[in-house]
Structure 1
């Protein structure tokens, strides 16, 4: 059993059951690279302020480099039964390399400020990776939108056909949502990039810790203004998981759309064989598991957010061991998010549109009911009256088994004398989308503007 970073006050060693229960190296091994950075900067700072000599600092840093090289690429879980956490592993292995001088590295600091500093550095890097993967998915959707060209699909509300929209317009809606997700993570960085080192256990340090030097070395924009908040608040992790949860909500909606479009009921899109799975019993099946897994895993990420909030809700200031449980959900959410974005990008790039099925879906002429309504409004029929006229026509069509486009002009005149022969021109999906006039609408010119804007930005 290795020596811990504490123990002088105790007469007995830790019970093996408690050791198994409380050790965290299997989880916080993720912080290895961040821990190395903090330790190197801390050793420099200790010499800079005269707390240790430059010779001692060099010896410590040389030892840290050797430990980092030795452990790099290893499965640190193999050390989990010997070391309490990543901090103990690094400290113990450093002592093996350089001897007693290693004991000076922990001067002026606590695991409380060390772990949250390492976590913030780790999170900074992972946020950048996630933002990159978001943009990859945006590019894939934008490319799919460009390939869709002038394809028109029924836009839906309440999962019922509503109005014709360009397929590209539908896909670009997700590009917009993903951009908001990316920008939320950009804003989060202002609260992540705050350095806790110097807070020590909770009250700060009486030693001349040069926090400004540390912040510069470690790339932090600010130093934590309150030492108790610095070591005990994980609001930045809750915010991160909230941002990821919103992202996953959007990914789940995107997945649901593709699940529907891939179903026999819609048949708009076909998955490439390399991004589909089969059935162990039914040989005909080609299943959209990639999208179903995204939809399912969104719930796991939502759960991590709820766990983070619940872990913190009853904690009196300042640090409590409950906070050891802040990391598993964060690490899992990061892994799930990164791989999901990557796989979604590749899947979207491989999709093939079934133009015939998409065109067939436009045969439902109730899709043009709103076009008829707005036609009447342009003829100066009050909106509410126009709404009632078209509603009655739709009801009559349903009762009689006739399609709206099959009505004669006399049939239309029964609902309103203001309706003329031009009503028959309204049953045209291309004319419907071209008739839209508002900014951000599905008009082809507006969609082209969106596409060009994203082509410039991404």
Structure 2
């Protein structure tokens, strides 16, 4: 049932319907459209457009349809309706006759779709927050399982200084915490209700926009009808949030792909998240991680596409804006999948402690420690830096680690060096001396893990409380 046929004497072409009809993808907002319609029926009751009996009849019919939707009993793709809004209205009209045709009084698909999509985005942002909390928990568990493991830290993909594996995990914990905060910010800004703004100029019916907003769980109504129906900042923010989160997952995937490589061999991935080669029977490929890395670009593309779509649109609504949904729906789905597979990767991961330690020792990662030792003896840091570099060159020439050089060789580089230098150079000492806030020392990492577990419990409790409020 077209919602706009009165002005037209001819039918839309099949090709136009193919490009125009959105039901094949916007059916995912069926529940939101029904809930919005229930709220609108209450607004029409307040405006004396509906009697109490009419409103009750409409609400019950909508609840019956919602039950069917939630039970998966409706095949939307078999319908010829233009969009989810016409689908719901057609269902009501078939069930209730002219009463069903009253529901759209004072409402436009412009404010209707803006409301539906805000509700959909909010629900799925909350779902992504749950996914992020699960992954954060997996990172903390992974760090705790390997709390004493040392591996080389890198800059420029060159071995730099040794770090605890738990410190590596905690770096991504920080990223996930920022991702969670971005979701909270996104929800805060989108949580305004466009319903009652009409096509662009507002509605003439006193539906009670504050009550509409409260009924649908919004913080309040949108304050400008032109902006309300044409704003898609909330979709862009969702896509940016997903893109930033996917970028973090992609960086983690890249680290783990390298750590899993034959050249590094720092860790093993479980069979559950790897695949083999059709030709080479020895291969065990990190495909789950590579797909996480690859899907990152796909999500970036959806953000860029909508930015380009929106940049030249005049106020108010334009049909170009229908392009907001497929990208956002796919981005949310891909981000969700990658967070879930990330949990599986982390839960099944095991470290090769010997390979990690050997690599940390071989990279002359204690060269900075030798410089710091010289500073403790009163040598200016720049001078100490040069001497330590000379020591590394000598060690490389002799095929030895720094701590393997004879004391006589070290003393030939500077007279301040004494036998106590060897107390500064062991791997554990190098790591554990970095016990200032934010450092990789065992004391700091242990403390950080404890605090992050506490923080995780608070985030879970707050989310559970907010979801109960929404219900």
TM-score, shorter chain, exceeding 0.5: yes
Q: Does the residue aligned with 2:403 lie in a helix, a strand or coil? A: helix
Aligned match for 1:204, one of 199, 202, 205: 202
Aligned to 2:323: 325
Distance in 2, matches of 1:327 and 1:78, equals 17
Q: What are the superposed Cα offsets for residues 69-118 of structure 1, whole Å, 9 maximum, x if unpaired?
A: 344414644235x1100001111111000011111100111000000101
Aligned to 1:428: 426
| Gaps in structure 1 of 5+ consecutive residues | none
Aligned to 2:85: 87
Aligned match for 1:334, one of 332, 335, 342: 332
The alpha-carbon deviation at position 367 of structure 1 amounts to: 0.8
Asked if 2 retains the 8 angstrom alpha-carbon contact of 1:164 and 1:433, the reply is: yes
Aligned to 1:388: 386
Aligned to 2:127: 129
Aligned to 2:411: 413
Alignment of 1:295-444 (within 5 A): 295-364=293-362, 366-444=364-442
Asked if 2 retains the 8 angstrom alpha-carbon contact of 1:63 and 1:94, the reply is: yes
Aligned match for 2:105, one of 104, 107, 116: 107
- The answer to whether the aligner puts 1:268 opposite 2:260 as a matched pair is no
The alpha-carbon deviation at position 416 of structure 1 amounts to: 1.3
Aligned match for 2:275, one of 274, 277, 280: 277
Moved more, 353-362 or 129-138: 353-362
Distance in 1, matches of 2:75 and 2:120, equals 17
Distance in 1, matches of 2:386 and 2:67, equals 76
Aligned to 1:259: 257
The alpha-carbon deviation at position 66 of structure 1 amounts to: 2.9
Q: What are the superposed Cα offsets for residues 279-338 of structure 1, whole Å, 9 maximum, x if unpaired?
A: 111111111111111000000011111011011001011100000000001100111111
Aligned match for 1:231, one of 214, 229, 232: 229
The alpha-carbon deviation at position 274 of structure 1 amounts to: 1.8
Moved more, 447-456 or 389-398: 389-398
Moved more, 398-407 or 256-265: 398-407
Aligned to 2:452: 454
Distance in 1, matches of 2:103 and 2:401, equals 82
Q: With structure 2 as the length reference, what TM-score do the two structures score?
A: 0.94
RMSD between superposed Cα atoms in Å: 1.4
Asked if 2 retains the 8 angstrom alpha-carbon contact of 1:276 and 1:289, the reply is: yes
- The answer to whether the aligner puts 1:5 opposite 2:6 as a matched pair is no
The alpha-carbon deviation at position 13 of structure 1 amounts to: 1.3
Distance in 2, matches of 1:70 and 1:393, equals 75
Q: With structure 1 as the length reference, what TM-score do the two structures score?
A: 0.96
Aligned to 1:142: 140
Report the count of equivalent residues.
455
Moved more, 346-355 or 312-321: 346-355
Alignment of 1:40-59 (within 5 A): 40-59=38-57
Asked if 2 retains the 8 angstrom alpha-carbon contact of 1:365 and 1:427, the reply is: no
Asked if 2 retains the 8 angstrom alpha-carbon contact of 1:25 and 1:76, the reply is: no
Asked if 2 retains the 8 angstrom alpha-carbon contact of 1:155 and 1:161, the reply is: yes
Distance in 2, matches of 1:283 and 1:292, equals 20
